[in-house]
Amino acid sequence: MEQTFGNNYDHLATARFFRRWWKVLVIVAVVAAVVSLVVALLIKPLYKSSAVIFPTNSNRLSKAIMDYHYSLDFMDYGIERDCEYAIQILSSKRMQQAVCEHFNLMEHYAITGAHPQAKLEKQYKSNITVKRTDFLGVEIGVLDQDPQWAADIANYMAAMYDTLCHEIHADRAASAADVMNGVVSSMEQEIDSLSATAGNSAWKKTLIEDKCEQLADLQTRAMQTNVDRSLEVSYKYLVDRAVPADKKAYPKRMLIVLGGMLGAVVVCIFGLLVFCPAKKEETIA
């Protein structure tokens, strides 16, 4: 073919090229289609199941119930912050470890050889995804060769989310409760000490009343913290429960065949242009 620049592209040279090599290109395309189809058939199909949750508002449940001055409703849907919290927890190592141990994924994925934990983590992240939906929900998607396993893993993660949230809140509430109970005990001892001293002056009564008001406030906070420590509530709304899929999600065999054909034909064209240039007389316009 002659070299052309700008808008001087030679369409006739292109037509002559395909007229000369069309049989070769057809054979390459057919062979590539057959090979791609065989490869696609050898790939084990994967089925996808998804569970969708709405994280609840992360406001303290005890405060929402016990404090009438508290304006936020714990029954509200979570805001963007709560959605990000949920994604972080569902994608955490603790969740991964819980899922792998509960379903024995090391054996299920038939992982052997060196570095099994690295291989398991790679397979886990390849098959399990957690992403935000368009409306501040969180979708847990699971791919597996067994559609029932895919659904079970997705539902287990949705249930385990509550467990991990409770552990996090309980640990934090336990630390706060220890501090609050110590402060309350110290305040009670201080009031008892003031009450036991001699004298009954006005400043002493005022001081004791102030201390009693502070103690009442501290006792309310300590009670709220202890409630948060002991309550086991749901931190999500389960919108869609995962069910076994009846249609495979991967591989898309038609796309594999078309991609294989296209790639083989393109490579063949470049090979013909490089190794089988047009004859001199064919390049004359």
Q: Which tens digits make up the pLDDT trace of 92-151?
A: 999 999 999 999 999 999 998 899 999 999 999 999 999 999 888 899 999 999 999 999
Compare 260 and 149 and report the one with higher pLDDT: 149
State pLDDT tens for residues 166-214. Answer: 888 777 777 776 777 777 788 778 777 777 775 667 777 787 778 788 7
At position 129, the amino acid (one-letter code) is T
Residue 18, classified by CB atoms within 10 Å of its CB into exposed (0-12), middle (13-18) or buried (19+), is exposed
pTM: 0.67
pLDDT at 238 over 60: yes
Do 45 and 250 form a contact (C-beta atoms < 8 A)? yes
- The 8-class DSSP code of residue 281 comes to G
Do 49 and 150 form a contact (C-beta atoms < 8 A)? yes
What is the crossing angle of helices 116-127 and 93-103, to 10°?
Answer: 100
pLDDT at 283 over 50: no
**pLDDT tier, 61 (very low <50, low <70, confident <90, very high otherwise):** low
Distances (CA, A) of 269 to 12, 222, 280: 16, 78, 19
Q: Which residue has the tokens 């290109």?
A: 25
pLDDT for residue 204: 73
Do 57 and 82 form a contact (C-beta atoms < 8 A)? yes
Measure the CA–CA gap between 158 and 165, rounded to whole angstroms.
11
Measure the CA–CA gap between 255 and 250, rounded to whole angstroms.
11
